[in-house]
Amino acid sequence: MQELIQDGDIIFIFLDAKRNWIRRVKSGEQFHSNKGLIVYDDIIGKPFGIKVESHSGVVFQIHRPSATDVQIAMGRNTQIIYPKDAGVILVEAGIGAGARVVESGTGSGALTGILARAVGPTGHVYTYEIREDMYLGAKKNLEKFGLEENVTQYNQDILEGIKEQDLDAIVLDLATPWLVVDEAHRALKPSRIFVSYSPTIEQTMKTCQALSSEGKWGMIKTLEVLEREIMVRENKTRPTTWMVAHTGYMTFARKMVEEVPLERDREQEKKDLD
């Protein structure tokens, strides 16, 4: 069944890789660019994926925006977590429908939106941001793209403590993530996953040291993902001359709990006491 564009929908208007826009469709209004205008009433009721000709004869594509499209449109007031890394975080941390996730810091809200989509209406994202300007900017972004329903924002330093308990995942994009390791252990469910995203190896090393120091965390590992696009052209297919190489190191760890003696071990212990 085709999904039709409705009044109030958010659409992705694509001309080429460098010229594309995300806009909200409003009846009676128009999209303007130097390549002509598109009347929104002309596309309301039409399916996503159509081609539309502007009044100047330029052909645009109209799509439903992907998570990547929205993330890029939110801007980069701070270093965002790229889609190539966000996807790995979702899979490695097991973040899906119904999950309760804490994030810090919020930044522009790009990863917050991806997390909110992943956990769906039955899950929830709690995001901490110490800077008021970033907190307000992220709030505006999330509301603009309709991603605020299952998100609770705090204009607060996560180092002051995590309000939530029994969480399914904690995702940090902080300058000092190693300072949150103990509080994260308290707030997570057993065997659930701590994630730290850091741009430098020094931050990563300090975080791994904190995770491994007291034996409270298991399966500690750090990943880096490199992305290269391939230009597919007849008789001249090759990699592009640039690539998204280092963006950040992702460290994952699973919460360990105190070992519970097996029943037979208790019986043996009782015999030894007798």
H/E run at residue 139: helix 132-144
| Least confidently predicted of 26-35, 62-71, 87-96, 125-134 | 62-71
Q: Structural domains in the chain?
A: 10-65 (3.10.330.20), 68-255 (3.40.50.150)
What's CA 178's distance to the chain center, in Å?
20
Residue 59 sits at φ, ψ, to 5 deg, of -95, 125
Beta-bridge partners for 244: 227
CB 107 within 8 A of CB 138: yes
Q: Where are the alpha helices (DSSP H) in 44-93?
A: 67-73, 83-92
pLDDT of residue 269: 63
H/E run at residue 239: strand 238-239
pLDDT of residue 244: 87
Residue 243 sits at φ, ψ, to 5 deg, of -150, 160
Beta-bridge partners for 32: 37
pLDDT band (50, 70, 90) for residue 76: low
- Residue identified by tokens 């989509």 is 117
- Burial (0-12, 13-18, 19+ Cβ within 10 Å), 183: middle
Q: Using the Cα atoms of residue 226, residue 116, residue 163 and residue 79 in order, give the sign of their dihedral.
A: positive
Residues 172 and 184: their CA atoms lie apart, in Å, by 10
pLDDT band (50, 70, 90) for residue 258: confident
pLDDT of residue 115: 97
| Least confidently predicted of 40-54, 65-79, 232-246 | 65-79
Orientation of helix 132-144 relative to helix 110-119, angle to 10°: 50
CB 232 within 8 A of CB 195: no
pLDDT band (50, 70, 90) for residue 17: confident
CB 95 within 8 A of CB 101: yes
CB 173 within 8 A of CB 197: yes
